[in-house]
A and B are shown apart, each in its own frame.
Chain A
């Protein structure tokens, strides 16, 4: 029986309305408890900040596209080796670390749960095998459904089986939730290098529109009561003027629970092909009026990144801008994939505007429970840049210094020079990095420190330099075990696979099997992942 008493720390547990109260926190057998015995190990946290373990609601850490990015970036990792030790596997870092390194580095950063945000269901076995080789963190993945030809047919026909089909797919893959990426647009790109101009464009060959796809799948996920609502990467990512599409997408889903990914990339005014400007304030206004919606920001950080997306058309745009490496992979029936290494430069108008829009989304008065932290790792920057981003939010002086380095013309087109003095509090940081993501994921045992919660706890030195503070937690405890102490990994564990599940009518298989036969080159019987070594041990979160 492992028992720990953390004494004297300032507890930041916003889900339980605890804001810096100094008191003890007790852990036993992987859970937070009221009290522990006198023999419990004591961690002296006086002068330190105690938070739940970090929860990353949107990152790209495992699966075929991530490994393709590793292949593409083999020159990026040479200077960032990780040596094997008695405890650790070796690996390499860089923008897209190897699997073991990914687990270690998230843990060293104080994160205990991470969501892989875009997995092709056809590749679920690959995703699961990589997640099995990604230690420390608990992890989940979202399956791509916004360009699925079988679902297009069900939606077009107004089939009553749509909900069952979605629940079947989650069961077949071990996925946690449903992701839409450029709904309809990826299919159009694969058909003709085409793009969606309006949510009412017809997707050739299927007689459905992006709006119908968004509405039907969003409603189905909402109706199923899955732990996480539909997770939307809207159409026209990165295009000037795309805020209109984003607002249209939101209006299409009004009244239903939905999470909008990397909103920064979807908040642009202007005309396609012309100069961009910010429409972050309007989007925040819409968000404020719709508590059923949440977003993660997808902040870009100046420096190197690698765009890694199912929205393959975006990658061809970046390919043509940049002329550098480009990787494309089309997955039958389901999705696409594009990868382009990319550098965000402070002096570049567009990059600085993107950076500024991300900060506007954080700082213009939005409810932190609705606006969560992400860099869309590794698209806007590595997850390792989260501490720098936290400092930008908490330290106005630092932010103004950084603003001074960014393209002036771009920054003038944002609200950042309007005497924007907001500085995030520690509790607000705890909300955007753990409490809100956990709540939005429907992980009732995570993101808070109430009795009965998972004993996932991160303890930081309360340093004035918030980047330094959040880069190197003093202690990281996961599942009640002490994993990290002062920047060193002390213990390695596998972490859980988190799967979502809703009941469904098994007769849906009779509907799906002939559609699979027409479209897939894999037999229906061979599609579901059944191997316990890939799927267990898992924690299944049921629909409610």
Chain B
């Protein structure tokens, strides 16, 4: 029997999906893998140092470890819900812990200059040029191009022959190391300042002409852009282009849970991405997690070399404590934020008798209070 599903296999959170077994309609290999891993998760309800344990004993051990921790960290959130993240920041506040949304976008560019973004429907209905900048959504967000419609000219900036590049109307093939230079040069051209003529200049002029010819355009970007400097340069370019037309960016998060968790961290503390609560109040924590001795890892892979309490639907290697959760969107409901920040209610088509990470985090908090 087929079940309707909101697929959290990637940040697109496609909500027009049905599942039969683990096969999805419309077809999506990534979504099917996401579902299969969670429907087959099985395994022990909990483990301590790799040996099966009951959930109560595992929670007791988690409380013991956190009670003795000098520098606790709560991190992950790859597959977490908003409810999980709210519970995690609540516990972190109690512990005076670090909190890190592992796959959150770097907040620096937005904090320095701002950004211009839009929901999927805005881009689908208005953008006439879509520039995919060194990302391969055909693999990472397989239905993105379908959901953005077929009306726009697709420009792909990438020197790799990716599945997305194969669908491009226009390809621009410089090497990744030249992206920052290319974005800055586009900005120089946009401002009608003199540009050093080199091998990129012709292609950049061509791209700019395309953008100037339309009232709406979108840039799709992600980790491929290579860091905050390039992101900042892209946002500056978009801002300059926006003077005469409507231009937006769409970030591709590498996981489905990061957008919601990052929003929660920001609304509860005032800061995104990584926050240190050790001083008794939130401080932006951009440095590496020095001195962390115990980590609570929420719906994500553990960090090597740290004593880890893993609250996760999937198995986590080398965790001191692992408690299996009901997989969000499969066995447990919850809220997730789509990559364009639209919040959606994940369903639980196959409910399981397992707790959510949010419930476990609350119980750990109760244990620490005792």
Counting CB contacts under 8 A, is A238 at the interface?
no
Q: Is the CB of B122 within 8 A of A332?
A: yes
Residue-wise, chain B 75-99 has the 8 Å CB interface mask toward A (1 for contact) of 0000000110010001001101000
Counting CB contacts under 8 A, is A207 at the interface?
no
Chain A interface, number of residues (Cβ within 8 angstroms): 63
Q: Is the CB of B126 within 8 A of A190?
A: yes
Q: Is the CB of A92 within 8 A of B345?
A: no
- Give the residue of B121, B267, B345 whose beta carbon is less than 8 angstroms from that of A67: B267
Residue-wise, chain A 324-357 has the 8 Å CB interface mask toward B (1 for contact) of 0111111111000001000000000000000000
Interface size class of B (residues with CB under 8 A): 35 or more
Classify the interface of chain A: helix, strand, loop or mixed.
mixed
List, in ascending order, chain A residues with CB within 8 A of B271's CB: 70, 74, 77, 92
Counting CB contacts under 8 A, is B58 at the interface?
no
- State the Cβ distance, B28 to closest chain A Cβ, in Å: 16
Interface stretch (choices A120-128, A241-249, A479-487):
A120-128
Counting CB contacts under 8 A, is A75 at the interface?
yes
- State the Cβ distance, B365 to closest chain A Cβ, in Å: 12
Interface centre among B83, B264, B266 (most CB of A within 10 A): B266
Counting CB contacts under 8 A, is B6 at the interface?
yes
Q: Assuming A81-B282, A91-B281, A523-B15, is B246 touching A193 (CB within 8 A)? A: yes
Q: Is the CB of A94 within 8 A of B270?
A: yes
Counting CB contacts under 8 A, is B124 at the interface?
yes
Interface stretch (choices A95-103, A155-163, A368-376, A500-508):
A95-103
Q: Is the CB of B16 within 8 A of A67?
A: no
Q: Which B251-300 residues sit within 8 Å CB-CB of chain A? A: 263-264, 266-272, 277, 279-284
- State the Cβ distance, A535 to closest chain B Cβ, in Å: 11
Q: Is the CB of A325 within 8 A of B121?
A: no
List, in ascending order, chain A residues with CB within 8 A of B333's CB: 531
Q: Is the CB of B86 within 8 A of A98?
A: no
Q: Assuming A92-B269, A190-B126, is B114 touching A123 (CB within 8 A)? A: no
Counting CB contacts under 8 A, is B112 at the interface?
yes
List, in ascending order, chain B residues with CB within 8 A of A332's CB: 118-122, 125
Q: Which B170-185 residues sit within 8 Å CB-CB of chain A? A: none
A137–B7 Cα distance when bound, in Å, is: 36
Counting CB contacts under 8 A, is B25 at the interface?
no
- Give the residue of A74, A192, A530 whose beta carbon is less than 8 angstroms from that of B272: A74
A100–B269 Cα distance when bound, in Å, is: 8
Counting CB contacts under 8 A, is B153 at the interface?
no
Counting CB contacts under 8 A, is B134 at the interface?
no
List, in ascending order, chain A residues with CB within 8 A of B242's CB: 193, 316, 328
Q: Is the CB of B110 within 8 A of A72?
A: yes
Counting CB contacts under 8 A, is B38 at the interface?
no
A77–B275 Cα distance when bound, in Å, is: 13
5 tightest Cβ-Cβ pairs between the two chains A and B: A332-B121, A92-B270, A81-B281, A125-B343, A330-B118
Could you name 16 residue pairs across A and B whose Cβ atoms are closer than 8 Å?
A71-B110, A71-B111, A74-B270, A74-B272, A83-B280, A92-B270, A98-B268, A99-B268, A100-B268, A130-B267, A192-B215, A193-B246, A329-B117, A330-B118, A331-B118, A521-B121
